[in-house]
Structure 1
């Protein structure tokens, strides 16, 4: 069965020229309801755990998904941070329910991604970010960066597409992204460590263009913001009364370096794999996380299902890794936002 509704040649040309593309109707809003509800259940479960530990009193069970975590934060910043860290996880940890996998592998999304990559052989990354940007909280503000700042240097000239999927209408008020267009064909800018919440950051003097030329990437629920890995972007404060929920998903051509099919044969008690595994997997653009084949016309039998996705994600999480090809920025840290 062919993928539904590919992008038009004009839309693909805009993406190539500008470095981003906003499509307001990739999904029906109802398509996003399963992952919204799964996140809501995960919040409820963690809140019950915190209550059992005597750390949380009011579960705020009467509040909807867009408001509940914000109410918990108002009672206790410590509890809200604990829940956000539980959702975000570290590498293979965090929220990785089947509803999330179904979003990554959604045919409506893959049709658009395949158009931009000009291929039906698509690899997805198990790297994703759950973005609960709470009202009036500095933690959700993401400084200027390029996603390539997080990737191995040998992938600087590759095309890796970030799909930013808002689970609510993303507006200026609730902290949508800012994007610098038309500079993605240049080099990866100098990044610094130590930014807000541990993010990498490009200082203003190192930005490839004037930040005043940034466009505001407002996007309705059901839409997607597509960006290249070299497109500078940042995220602004949420001044609304509700949470700006979003997901970052990542895709690339099967021809781009990845670790698809690579696994350690065994791990020792310290979670270390054999040296041969690290040598092989270091070719990936982001070696610490498991890549997987998500669409293929050539070898459909190798497309990953949820159980294998979850298994590989957890396996990589257990693997203690130090990849020589993985980019490390060692400049002095800027002031925290």
Structure 2
């Protein structure tokens, strides 16, 4: 991307203020249609177990082995494919994240390649339950993380676009969090909210190539894909340069296992590539 195009994608001061108040923001189109065509082809190769680098992701859905009607979630696809790595380490995404988080350094925490299959009926589910990403990242001392969700295809409510709850990043950790929960209404009914706050999700309707950004504490989820075509995306999870390891008895995230450090150590090194500066 040229310097001029990158500048056109960066958030203005009003956008940064919007992110700080609401916990999310959607960028203009960052990836071209030509780039997306190549990215999608590499996504399908991953599902066939074809790893360009010879290195497998942390976990992966495999064609002919796993349920073809289930949500597919592949962690650290950037280990396995050079094109997918360019998405996970895109400098424009890193620059936007730095501006939104007021950070001097942005590193990749990890990526998640996502595929929500098309159903056509609207009755079956491949929902993503209401959750805050930081719940799964308790091996970080502070919620100094942000997610860039890259749309490989157009997304709206019909195919299960992400929905984010404004201001929820100001609520701390809520009592209900489950990425795999299918009953979103039940989750919402059981959620304890701070006084004077409301749970009113906003659908993040996006064109292919746009990127949404949400804070690690922002509550988000998504409904079923009721269309005939799959919803494709990548969640690029990012961290500021001052993100440190927290030693906790809660299940250790694979990044904590890679670091194998002491309480308070920085997450830094080749395992977490720098996107910015």
RMSD: 3.7
Show CA shifts across 1:238-270 (max 9, x none): 1111000111111121112259xxxxxxxxxxx
Q: In the TM superposition, what is the alpha-carbon distance from 1:81 to its structure 2 partner? A: 6.3
Aligned pair count reads 241
Structure 1 residues 194 and 107, CA, compared in 2 at 3 Å: closer, same or farther?
A: closer
- 1:192 touches 1:203 (CA, 8 Å); kept in 2? no
Note closer, same or farther for the CA distance 1:11–1:151 as it changes in structure 2 (3 Å cut).
same
Give the one of 165, 174, 192 matched to 2:150. Answer: 165
Structure-2-length-normalised TM-score: 0.72
Cα displacement string for residues 162-202 of structure 1 (whole angstroms, at most 9, x for unaligned residues): 111111001111110111101211211123569438x9x95
| Higher helix residue share | 1
Residue 238 in 1 paired to residue 225 in 2? Answer: yes
What SS does structure 2 have at the residue aligned with 1:41? helix
CA contact 2:11–2:27 (8 Å) conserved in 1:
no
Matched, 1:215 2:219: no
1:113 partnered with 2:101:
no
Q: Note if contact 2:125-2:225 (Cα within 8 Å) is conserved in structure 1.
A: no
| Partner in structure 1 of residue 118 of structure 2 | 135
Give the Cα–Cα distance (whole angstroms) in 1 for the partners of residues 212 and 15 of structure 2.
Answer: 12
Pairwise CA distance, 1:214 = 1.2
How far apart are residue 77 of structure 1 and its match? Answer: 9.2
- Taking the aligned partners of 1:170 and 1:79, their CA distance within structure 2 comes to 23
What's the counterpart of residue 15 of structure 1? 19
Match of 1:319 in 2: none
Distance 2:242 2:177 in 1: 30
* Structure-2 separation of matches of 1:45 and 1:39: 10
Gaps (5+ residues) in structure 1?
47-68, 260-274, 298-337
Q: What's 1:295 paired with?
A: 275
Q: Relative to structure 2, which stretch is displaced further, 36-45 or 145-154?
A: 36-45
> CA shift at 1:280, angstroms?
2.2
1:255 paired residue number: 242
Change (3 A) 1:8 1:93: closer
Structure number with larger C-alpha Rg = 1
Unaligned runs of 5+ in 2: 51-60, 247-256
